[in-house]
């Protein structure tokens, strides 16, 4: 027979340690699961960086970083002003930061001042296959998985010879 005294509920970590010392069983507090809308994301602690292209239609990226420098959200894309063609190469938002608007904000940053462009994407992960129909509905811009490049975009050149520029977070 279990003769343990029941633990107090809704108490601090210190109280749970005291309960454990006296043999009272205290259940652990349930953690908020990743990808939950209840996950606490502090936008005041993040920094945003834009790596501009080295050539007129070269690769560029935008990143959102945690205070320790970890880039938890990143978008890599190309856009050709001559051909009005855009390509989303890579989009990544790490687990706890998903469903907080980071992907949408980054895509809107890539789309700004590019009305009338035809956009495509590379082959997509399961998360991206769920994301792109949502962003298409929100922006009115289709993102088919066709991976089109024009000659200007294929010209190549070094990808990261220009320094990143810190920027204000894109609007939500």
pLDDT in tens, 102-142: 999 999 999 999 999 999 998 778 888 899 999 999 999 99
Where is pLDDT greater, at 77 or 2?
77
Predicted pLDDT at 67: 85
Q: Does the pLDDT at position 75 exceed 70? A: yes
Model-level pTM greater than 0.75? no
Sheet of 85-93: strand order equals 118-121, 85-93, 71-80, 59-65, 47-51, 165-167
Percent above pLDDT 70 for the chain = 77
Task: Check if the beta carbon of residue 8 is closer than 8 Å to that of residue 26.
Answer: yes
pLDDT digits (tens, 9 = 90+) for 51-70: 998 888 999 999 999 888 88
Query: In Å, how far from its chain's centre is CA 8?
Result: 39
Q: What is the pLDDT of residue 135?
A: 94
* Strand spans (E) along 20-142: 47-51, 59-65, 71-80, 85-93, 118-121
Q: What percent of the chain has pLDDT over 90?
A: 41
Domains of the chain: 1-31 (no CATH), 43-167 (3.40.630.30)
Tell me the average pLDDT of the chain: 82
The answer to whether residues 91 and 128 touch, using CB atoms and an 8 Å cutoff, is yes
């Amino acid at each position: 027979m279990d003769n343990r005294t029941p633990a107090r509920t809704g108490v601090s970590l210190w109280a749970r340690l005291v309960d454990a010392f006296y043999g009272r069983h205290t259940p652990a507090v349930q953690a908020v699961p990743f990808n939950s809308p209840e996950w606490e994301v502090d936008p005041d602690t993040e920094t945003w960086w834009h790596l501009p292209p080295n050539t007129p239609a070269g690769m560029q990226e935008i990143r959102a970083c945690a205070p320790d420098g970890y880039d938890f959200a990143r978008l890599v894309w190309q856009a050709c002003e001559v051909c009005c063609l855009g390509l989303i190469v890579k989009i990544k938002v790490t687990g706890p930061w998903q469903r907080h608007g980071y992907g949408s904000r980054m895509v809107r940053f890539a789309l700004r001042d590019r009305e009338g462009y035809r956009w495509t994407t590379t082959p997509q992960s399961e998360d991206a296959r769920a994301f792109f129909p949502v962003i298409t509905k929100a922006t009115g811009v289709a993102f088919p998985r066709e991976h089109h490049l024009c000659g200007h975009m294929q010209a190549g050149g070094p990808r990261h010879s220009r320094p990143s520029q810190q920027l204000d977070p894109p609007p939500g």
